[in-house]
Copies of this chain bind each other. A is one copy, B any other.
Amino acid sequence: MQVEKKITVLPGDGIGPEVVAAAVRVLKVIGKRYNHDFQLGYAAIGGAAIDQFNNPLPDETIAMCDESDAVLLGAVGGPKWDNNPAELRPELGLLKIRKTFDLFANLRPVKAFPSLLDSSPLKREVAENVDLMIVRELTGGIYFGEKKRNEEEASDLNIYTRHEIERIVDNAFELARLRRGKLCSVDKANVLETSRLWRQIVEEKKEQYPDVVVEHNLVDSVAMKLITNPGHYDVVVTDNMFGDILSDEASVITGSLGVLPSASIRSDSFGLYEPVHGSAPEIAGQGIANPAATILSVAMMLQYSFGMKEEAAEIERAVSAVFEDGYYTADLVKDGGRALTTDEFTDKVIAEIDTNF
């Protein structure tokens, strides 16, 4: 029986439309090969939506996502909208879609591709065995707490409820259990009250996951250790603000920001999938962007929203094989090598999948 899945595609700004187009090609090939019926609908977000609808997240977009099983996003933002007022900033589209759909768990895997390690700022021996997953709380904390401002002062409230912490911590424990059984919870419990509640909840929860080894670590200390000893980590769970910083920091370890996917998921299987990299306006429209991160985001969608493990693994294998064969886009190409265009790289990935029928 054919499985039917509805996917809303939000190309967004900059290189967003290009990398999304590439990932959609791969998605279609997978649909054909495994006989799934992926139904795609397109909608606007970010700067593109501001230009068209004067709203970074139009109601039409919300309605379409609401009807879908998953969302694929390119990237938002660019200099064109940088001086817009807060309510007309592309990023607001991102913050709103997270909140509207309660996408509280942001998963950011960082895994070394051996063939890309030359591009890492870290020594090979430090980066080579890295395989970690940052789990960031995405709909609470200081991002969404009350903000105040007058001429003389400004404030942001960092606030977490027990419920918000419990569900992200549960999520991280479950993931750890499916991986290497190690969880590092990151906080600033020596200073913050929210962190003390966070730490207490992790302590309570760990009774339910006796198979997971838990450590608590302070955010400043993790900011060091992610660079000195990234191989130490399996699953890392933390709040929205710390997660923003640490996941971006971790993204440089393997030398391949252009290949890192992410998932932002809800408690049911609905989720939004997007590359970690931004809209890279400086190279937009040239057809040279690296589509790997978005293609791998599709793999995460197949795995986390649709439970299609084999299909997800097949995409990951294909991308990895293309790198192993020495094919790279401009961001990763080595001295003397020829850089593939977005389309050429995608062709290679698709060929890998095809030849494996």
Contacts and interface: CB of A to CB of B under 8 A. Distances in A.
B190 A91 contact: yes
Contacts of A138: none
Complex copy number for this chain: 2
Contact of A147 (B142, B147, B192, B251): B192
A220 B246 CA distance: 8
Contact of A161 (B91, B153, B193, B194): B153
A159 interface: yes
A251 B221 CA distance: 10
Nearest to A126: B121
* Most-contacted residue by chain B among A121, A223, A224, A246 (CB, 10 A): A121
Given A223-B245, A223-B249, A249-B223, A142 B192 contact: yes
A193 B228 contact: no
A46 B227 CA distance: 29
A162 interface: yes
18 contacts: A122-B122, A142-B191, A143-B191, A147-B192, A152-B162, A153-B159, A155-B158, A155-B193, A156-B157, A156-B159, A156-B194, A219-B245, A223-B245, A224-B248, A224-B251, A224-B252, A224-B257, A227-B249
